[in-house]
Amino acid sequence: MFSLSQFPLPYASDALAPHISAETLAYHHGKHVATYIKNLNDLIAGTAYEDMPLTRIVRTSVNNDQKIFNNAAQVYNHDFFFNCLKPADTKMSVPKKLADAFGGADAMREKFRTAALSVFGSGWAWIVRDGTEYKIITTANADTPIAHGMTPLFTIDVWEHAYYLDYQNRRADFIDAVWDNLANWDFVSENMIL
């Protein structure tokens, strides 16, 4: 029987500190994501979803099976999110082609920041490719660009569980710290050529 297992973090659990603490990762990756994976495995057992790869589960369930979609999309989104982050002491540059699409690196940062702050309640802010166009979008709850024909390039999780231990209610400080110190622009560049 097929079942999804927990994906490993692509860095040590203290590699993102002080911007995201090891304690936050222990809860976020170790508890929240683990629960989505367990729920998904329980929900798909014995169904047609059981043998599908995760991205196909997401795209197939979006209009049909809300519970399966919520858990599958959250597994996908979190795997993607943790890959969008890099150790705090690694230096990377914003891809010029992407920044140019938004009028420069500062304008792209401001547009993403405004979008991430605009999410009411739980959700995600994304940089995506939609056809031939680069866009900054938000999704609510578990929703994900791959369910809507878009290619994700970068995301920040703005559910409170992503930042509350380190930043309490200060979502803006969390977004700025991630963008300025932890964004894995090499991963974003790889996604741009998909």
Token pair belonging to 52: 């599908």
- The CA distance from 61 to 58, in Å, is 5
Our CB check for Mn ion shows the closer of 74 and 99 to be 74
Our CB check for Mn ion shows the closer of 25 and 127 to be 25
Our CB check for Mn ion shows the closer of 30 and 104 to be 30
CA–CA distances in Å: residue 181 to residues 31, 60, 148: 24, 36, 30
Please provide residue 163's backbone torsions phi and psi, each rounded to the nearest 5 degrees. Answer: -140, -5
CB of 158 to Mn ion, least distance (A): 9
CB of 157 to Mn ion, least distance (A): 4
Token pair belonging to 138: 């938000």
State the binding string over 160-179 for Mn ion (x if CB under 5 A, else -).
--x-----------------
Q: Rounded to a whole number, what is the largest CA-CA distance in the chain?
A: 50
Q: What is the SS3 assignment for 78?
A: helix
Residues 92/119/62/179 CA torsion (nearest 10 deg): 0
157 binds Mn ion (CB under 5 A): yes
69 binds Mn ion (CB under 5 A): no
Place of tokens 């911007």: 19
159 binds Mn ion (CB under 5 A): yes
State the binding string over 110-149 for Mn ion (x if CB under 5 A, else -).
----------------------------------------
CB of 179 to Mn ion, least distance (A): 17
Stretch that binds Mn ion, among 34-42, 87-95, 154-162, 179-187 (CB under 5 A): 154-162
- The CA distance from 24 to 27, in Å, is 5
Our CB check for Mn ion shows the closer of 50 and 79 to be 79
> Residues in the site for Mn ion, rule: CB under 5 A?
157, 159, 162
